[in-house]
A and B are shown apart, each in its own frame.
Chain A
């Protein structure tokens, strides 16, 4: 399961072209620069600054799930800069706490469920030997649920493909299933149209990389 040691975080983020949909309301314009930060900036202070902003906006906008979603995403990004395992878990605790608020607002949102699975995958990466049993199952199940909620969600598919690929590599079994999922993810990325300027847009390069690995 060491294959799941994910330097893939970097991959997740490269190649994001923020759709610069004309500036809408105050909420959207407050969110956008910080979303840009969690996608592109890689220093902990800047990330924490963005997470703090999401937290403020989320507290003021009681019906919006996006601030909590991006706060959680930002925490996962910060985790990636941390070496200490205890501190890594702390960031994931923060991520889980933030995401729980999004889940409470939109329990059936595929994007939120996919990020939940991503957090499990990161928990697994911290200590694969001890956590494999619990978190591999939990992550796979959660990605499955995210895909079921919205089969068009390319991020849910890309993450599921990554999980399947990691497991297949670990056990030396064929990657057929993982590659099929990665291909499906690529197709969905091609046709994915964000319903709002704040909709999540990351993950395409992960699917690309997986597809590349599949062709080798």
Chain B
């Protein structure tokens, strides 16, 4: 008996003290071993790390039912209950791949991202600001990317055979009615928004998300910065004015204000200009931004800017240059945008906001006064959710209301009024379905109702991306896009149909270290474009029978690895486009289109000189113009355009920057087109005058000083 108890005791003891040995192998779905995975006996110290073959082995004194967890970055946790009782256990674990931002394929067809936060982007936010020749203009920098056609006298973004109006700008998802400042006829306008305000820029040359409507060719989506990290004051002394900005930051928010005065008069006094200015442009601009964190996860952003610009000039008659007419313009602009985002639950987030734009142009030509006002309100709410770990859904609704009015007053004539109101309501939904980290399909649909036409439309958008290997991927995109016809026509006939475009895009992209290669080809079909007979000033029979197409191939290469300190990119776009719209007598290449566009952007950091130098070379082949002295329409070709720009930033102190830039250093006399007199001369020929650059070069000097507690920051990213 005693022996029996002794034996029993020994057995009990030994089982209590017995170690259990766990061994096994951890693999992915293909059966490849996963090295360095963490094998965890939950809530104990016990466990192991897998070896190169995915094998592990460890012993534990724990007993009973326990949970075994196997974890590795990029995979979902593997969990299995184990009963520990001294008997060796063999575990075979297959880890499921987790769809994650860093490894998952991205849809890149048509889209260029510039962001600091997402790491696989082609551009960084700072690239927008430091591109030579762009003079810190967002459109100027994006004009060095493929898909754009340089239209030197406009300054706007012309994308893939599209007109400048076909590109729409969105700030935090909210539409901006007119993203460009006023400019004299045939001089380039600048964007109203400075690149440094944004942490991310997504420039899409086609096939964009169902979230964005009222844009035929391109969506420029800008994400404003979150709360400022530090209190600082920035002072800028420019050759054409000055600015002062102050940012106050606190733990949960920040507020910033900026006042800028630009006066180009003294500069134009020094340098001979092509334009006969009476008073060159001067403007005041005020900008304010407020950021505040709400609760644990919410963020409120308010941004507003207002400006007043005025200038006046003389327009000379082509046939009789001594005869001139004064033209004066005063532009008032206000924009305010309120944005809110918050996390609703583990799976859902909400964002939304409202934007208001007001614009007033008071123009005087000779004895005619034209007062043009446009007001717009845009409100939007978007819900984004993760339905499963492989399906993401985005859905939302928006309303855009616009009021447009033009008053024309001429001496001894009744006031002419042209006005319209538009309400456009839209709903959209879009799902990203990941089959694996290698393959994603995005399917979306956008429904719109427009009061101008009293019609409802439904537009599909589909894109796909597939990773061909570790570094390469192929994307496809298709979509139908629509946009209300230009104000110029709608104010005359408000029930014009929306213009439509259909995009087909195929893209290949590979990123290896510091080198990026992109090749993209596309076909775009235009339908329901505005058409009329007569002249642009007095159109007759406005209708929507216009149509056209654009197709092309584009290349982009960027390399910041091969030569130390040197970062460069090359882009090339080939475009074949024809349209039969407006009062075109036949299908023809429009005047803003150009067959070949190429850019080379180089940035070089010279450490001993504490300087960054940059240069941009742009080439655009000749553009069509219509020569009334020739029988066929739009048959003329301007000479090619080329521009070599340089910039130099010198940082003598962490808080001080001296900045110098010059466009067109070679002084090429670029000609953008020709204007012809309305009536032929006695010889039956129409006289012409070339449309030239306002001045061959634009030289800019600025000194920027930043005052802050840390003295480490400077304004480089704002330049």
Contacts and interface: CB of A to CB of B under 8 A. Distances in A.
A85 B119 contact: yes
Given A56-B46, A59-B40, A130 B713 contact: no
Interface string B3-38: 000000000000000000000000000000001101
A137 B710 CA distance: 8
Interface string A138-182: 101100000000000000000000000001001111000000000
B40 A89 contact: no
A21 interface: no
A122 to B, nearest CB: 14
A137 B43 contact: no
With most chain B CB atoms within 10 A of its CB, the pick from A45, A56, A127, A140 is A56
B513 A84 contact: yes
Contact of A52 (B49, B119, B124, B710): B49
B563 to A, nearest CB: 14
B717 A133 contact: yes
B254 to A, nearest CB: 13
A140 B102 CA distance: 28
A81 interface: no
Q: Give the bracket for the number of chain B residues in contact with chain A.
A: 35 or more
A57 B653 contact: no
Contacts of A138: 229
Contact of B713 (A30, A48, A137, A173): A137
A167 B712 contact: yes
A167 B716 CA distance: 15
B116 interface: yes
A92 to B, nearest CB: 11
B73 A129 contact: no
A112 to B, nearest CB: 18
B49 A136 contact: no
A94 B71 CA distance: 13
Interface string B100-121: 0010000000000000100110
Q: Is the interface of A mostly helix, strand, loop or mixed?
A: helix
B605 interface: yes
Contact of A130 (B125, B229, B610, B710): B125
Contact of A86 (B35, B45, B120): B120
Q: Give the bracket for the number of chain A residues in contact with chain B.
A: 35 or more
B43 A141 contact: no
A133 B653 contact: no
A90 B125 CA distance: 21
A60 interface: yes
A131 interface: yes
A137 B716 CA distance: 14
A173 B653 contact: yes
A60 B38 contact: no
Nearest to A49: B49
A136 B713 contact: yes
B651 interface: yes
Interface in A45-100: 45, 48-49, 52-53, 55-57, 59-60, 84-86, 89-90, 93-94
Given A52-B38, A140-B710, 15 more contacts: A30-B45, A49-B49, A52-B47, A52-B48, A53-B45, A53-B47, A59-B43, A90-B102, A94-B73, A130-B116, A132-B716, A133-B713, A137-B230, A137-B712, A137-B713
19 contacts: A45-B35, A48-B49, A53-B47, A55-B38, A56-B45, A59-B43, A60-B44, A89-B102, A90-B73, A129-B126, A129-B567, A130-B116, A134-B229, A136-B712, A140-B710, A140-B712, A141-B229, A172-B610, A173-B654
Closest 7 CB pairs of A and B: A130-B124, A52-B38, A49-B49, A48-B36, A171-B654, A52-B49, A56-B47
